Amino acid sequence: MSTKVSLTISFVLIAIAAIVGAVLSSQLPDPMPSHWNAAGEVDGYMSKFWGIWLMPLMTLGITLLLAGVPYLDPLKANIEQFRNLYNIFIVGFVAYMLYVYALTLAAALGAQFNMTYMLVPAVGLLFIGISFLIENAKRNFFIGIRTPWTLSSDEVWEKTHKLGAWAFRIGGALVVVIAFIGESGVFLMLPVLLLMALTPVVYSYFAWTKLPK
């Protein structure tokens, strides 16, 4: 996917979301639900203005930041080697953020559903999607598993990212399963996510120590 296509799709999706929020404004309560506990029940609220506009504006800002990263990195030539996947990731991220926004609007309009069951599986799928980006990422300063050891060696970078890709896939799949265990299952997410994140970091150090000196 080209950068132009990726950004066009992203901006169109964000614009549609903002228009939907504005159209529904008269039907939305003030304040709107903005936070849910582990049981999927509302336990926090924000004003209607921010309930409508915060997510589209935040998604737009992050999208612009992600779009600018490849131009800022000293190793931008390496990013170009997996730019298509990176562009797909941007669209996927926007879709995830707007899915959360849609759930928030639906809850504010009175739809009855368990937010945990609706949201957490999407988080797991997002991690699985990220795993493909990680697997194909080349050494750079912004995208991927950036430790002193991966940044110092292409070999360590490649080995770490292959392991990291599988860690994210397995972790993402476990998060999807955990979502349906119930409230207690949500608390299992933290050790899963920690293990998913720390495994490649620790591995990168040991892979670096095995390099010829």
CA–CA separation, 64 vs 55, rounded Å?
14
Q: What is the mean pLDDT of residues 164-192?
A: 84
CB 86, CB 76: distance < 8 Å: no
Check pLDDT > 90 for residue 166. yes
Which of 167, 160, 176, 159 has its CA nearest to residue 195? 167
What phi and psi values does residue 167 have, to the nearest 5 degrees? Answer: -60, -40
Distances (CA, A) of 138 to 29, 59, 141, 152: 47, 26, 10, 12
Note the pLDDT of residue 188: 78
Q: How long is the chain?
A: 213
Place of tokens 């992203």: 10
What percent of the chain clears pLDDT 90, i.e. is strictly above it? Answer: 72
Q: What is the mean pLDDT of residues 103-126?
A: 89
CA–CA separation, 84 vs 26, rounded Å?
40
Check pLDDT > 70 for residue 147. yes
Q: What is the mean pLDDT of residues 132-154?
A: 94
Check pLDDT > 90 for residue 167. yes
Q: How high is the mean pLDDT of the chain?
A: 91
Exposed e or buried b per residue across 173-204, where buried means at least 16 C-beta atoms within 10 angstroms of its C-beta = bbbbebbeeeeebbeebeebbeebeebbbebb
Note the pLDDT of residue 182: 65
Note the pLDDT of residue 62: 95
Question: pTM for this structure?
Answer: 0.88
Note the pLDDT of residue 178: 83
Q: What is the mean pLDDT of residues 55-78?
A: 94
Selected residue with higher pLDDT from 119 and 86: 86
Check pLDDT > 70 for residue 171. yes
Q: What is the mean pLDDT of residues 55-60?
A: 96
Selected residue with higher pLDDT from 185 and 132: 132
pLDDT of 17-51, one tens digit each? Answer: 999 999 999 999 989 988 888 777 788 888 999 99
Note the pLDDT of residue 187: 74
184: confidence class by pLDDT, cuts 50, 70, 90: low
